[in-house]
Structure 1
């Protein structure tokens, strides 16, 4: 199996998969390979918080010509996964440093080989999304079990703030920052509420089963029902808090939380971060302050003032994401961990203090 995530955040799917008992085989940029059974596909799709898509990696082979591409594709065990009434849809062709370069032709040859291998009826009744990766002349072919909408599409976020985090990225930051789901999670720049909402969903064990997946149409899963999976029972308490200075966006956050079924577990309050009183208790902070590439008028003075985190949240873990590569200099404090990841095509830094 292949779990796709934002490049730089691979640690989060690895943490989730290991906790679920799966063995990690290999990790590359945005890709986590692991061992799983076909019958695990439903559970994985609805249970993983930080993964964007879940693919079956059908096989790999070397190809520098279209004949080799056809033969290599044909040699793979498609009959184990794809019904003869398949409609093959090539959703993505990504080619790097390879002799084969024409994406349309590559897609056409791959489909032709698979149709021949499964002795296709050409009924086109069952959709199978395909991903094609070619790097250094090595072809990898995969079936997308997730479908049209990525796993980040939870269904609760109809409205957003100016520059919201994708839901799976918010979940990944919670995991990588080491939140134990016991300490109160605080986001002092919560915007439309994605981070507090994802924290509450995670702590409550809410599953991503109120949607459709590609695998549901496949005959091998014809007897599967999504409602077989229910969220675990938890003790009612406040899981997270979200502050923002904008009353309008806080209303949106509350609406999103209500749709997500977690409004009763989150406290949203209109508060200016720069006027917050210090917290007595140790909390866990994960936040996405406004930053320059997304919002105009943000300068170094703003970032230096953000060092107030350490006054407001003493003895707390503080996870901040920003486009600033030198935030530790502006803060005058060295982070415990620092890494970068892709957020909507922008390389973004994450600092954990």
Structure 2
């Protein structure tokens, strides 16, 4: 069957590479998604192990769309009662990019009606709809004259890992953090530093990656558990094979934040893991941060001045000066939505990637800090 893994804009290649590592070499890149072929055991495995996807969908039906009625008629052809019980709640979500429909919510209502009518015709009763916390999530995607109906086997987005007890006002999305680590080509051995660690997302995702522990190991909710074909024994077998505990990490991880409340939240989030005691966290501003000698990686998400008030010129100017004068031998990676901030770093990036953190368009930039002339070069736009 066709399995579609959704992700954020700009992360399609990263996800395809991760899937290759997980044993799925053949994939097709779509818009904010990657498609593979597999079985239900793969669906369970991917929900647990994939780090760079938002959700895992199983395609039920693909069809041409000429009129509004086509959606209802095609949805009626699906044997919904074989997928879930009438006692389960459901919702229809997705995305519509088509001029056929004048109202963006109407296509979802058509699918909902088809599902309800299927159960009424067969069982004489109908399942309830629960938009906020449905047990079954049906996904509808329409692009111009093509429609795809799928079942979302994840339910809640996979960036809701289950490990983060405390967050700040502008947290970095966990899927984005996992993708940044892959994009940096960090080797899981070299020291990794985040001087603006917030509630610790980059540090935790790095520790999970280095230890070979699935990012979703603490998560208990998956929508596939509510499906009629759920194989509890198969799921238990897959889950039991996953790494859960480590006695040590193969690398040094150091984080810090100027906000003592954020440092407390990071430590609280780390406490739930066996590796928590190995991660060093400092309550320090970036100019007081105890950067070790290189080689090392710095991957960080400084305030953008969007959701957290900050003096962008002073903060990024200080960070740029530290990078130039103190971080020789470092590979530095900065994600930000602040173009002004990047200018105040006063460094030329080796690479730039466009991506999103939530609804904010960001740039992720690599700076290799050399001895000699290049370290002082101005950034060119």
Aligned partners of 1:259 and 1:209: how far apart in 2?
Answer: 11
SS at match of 2:329: coil
CA contact (8 A) 1:290 1:298 kept: no
Q: Choose from 297, 300, 312 the match for 1:299.
A: 312
Moved more, 102-111 or 312-321: 102-111
Aligned to 1:246: 259
Aligned partners of 1:164 and 1:282: how far apart in 2?
Answer: 28
Q: Is residue 223 of structure 2 the alignment partner of residue 214 of structure 1?
A: yes
Aligned partners of 2:158 and 2:291: how far apart in 1?
Answer: 37
Deviations 1:12-49 (A, max 9, x none): 32221010121453323421222222221111001111
SS at match of 1:6: coil
Aligned partners of 2:174 and 2:11: how far apart in 1?
Answer: 13
Q: Choose from 232, 237, 247 the match for 1:223.
A: 232
Q: Choose from 159, 163, 176 the match for 1:169.
A: 176
Q: Which runs of 5+ in 2 are unaligned?
A: 129-133, 368-381
CA contact (8 A) 1:16 1:48 kept: yes
Note closer, same or farther for the CA distance 1:250–1:179 as it changes in structure 2 (3 Å cut).
same
* TM-score (normalizing by structure 2): 0.83
Note closer, same or farther for the CA distance 1:57–1:273 as it changes in structure 2 (3 Å cut).
same
Aligned partners of 1:295 and 1:111: how far apart in 2?
Answer: 40
When the two chains are superposed, the root-mean-square deviation of aligned CA atoms in Å is 2.7
CA contact (8 A) 2:60 2:149 kept: yes
CA contact (8 A) 2:15 2:52 kept: yes
Deviations 1:210-252 (A, max 9, x none): 3121111223223334443331665513541101222222111
Q: Is residue 135 of structure 2 the alignment partner of residue 134 of structure 1?
A: no
**What is the CA-CA distance between 1:120 and the residue it aligns to?**
4.2
Q: Is residue 175 of structure 2 the alignment partner of residue 154 of structure 1?
A: no
Aligned residues: 351
* TM-score (normalizing by structure 1): 0.89
Aligned to 1:339: 353
Q: Which runs of 5+ in 1 are unaligned?
A: none
**What is the CA-CA distance between 1:57 and the residue it aligns to?**
2.3
Aligned partners of 1:108 and 1:332: how far apart in 2?
Answer: 52
Note closer, same or farther for the CA distance 1:215–1:36 as it changes in structure 2 (3 Å cut).
same
Q: Choose from 48, 51, 73 the match for 1:49.
A: 51
SS at match of 1:11: helix
Note closer, same or farther for the CA distance 1:28–1:301 as it changes in structure 2 (3 Å cut).
farther
CA contact (8 A) 1:24 1:32 kept: no
Q: Choose from 323, 327, 332 the match for 1:313.
A: 327
Counterpart mapping for 1:1-353 below 5 A: 1-75=3-77, 78=79, 82-83=83-84, 85=86, 87=88, 89-114=90-115, 120-121=122-123, 122=125, 124=127, 127-147=135-155, 149-207=156-214, 208-210=216-218, 211-224=220-233, 225-226=235-236, 227-231=239-243, 234=246, 236-237=248-249, 239-276=252-289, 279-307=292-320, 308-325=322-339, 329-353=343-367
Note closer, same or farther for the CA distance 1:2–1:34 as it changes in structure 2 (3 Å cut).
same
**What is the CA-CA distance between 1:110 and the residue it aligns to?**
1.8
CA contact (8 A) 1:87 1:127 kept: yes
Aligned partners of 2:147 and 2:118: how far apart in 1?
Answer: 18
**What is the CA-CA distance between 1:55 and the residue it aligns to?**
0.9
SS at match of 2:66: coil
**What is the CA-CA distance between 1:78 and the residue it aligns to?**
4.5
Note closer, same or farther for the CA distance 1:303–1:81 as it changes in structure 2 (3 Å cut).
farther
**What is the CA-CA distance between 1:310 and the residue it aligns to?**
3.6
Aligned partners of 1:230 and 1:236: how far apart in 2?
Answer: 17
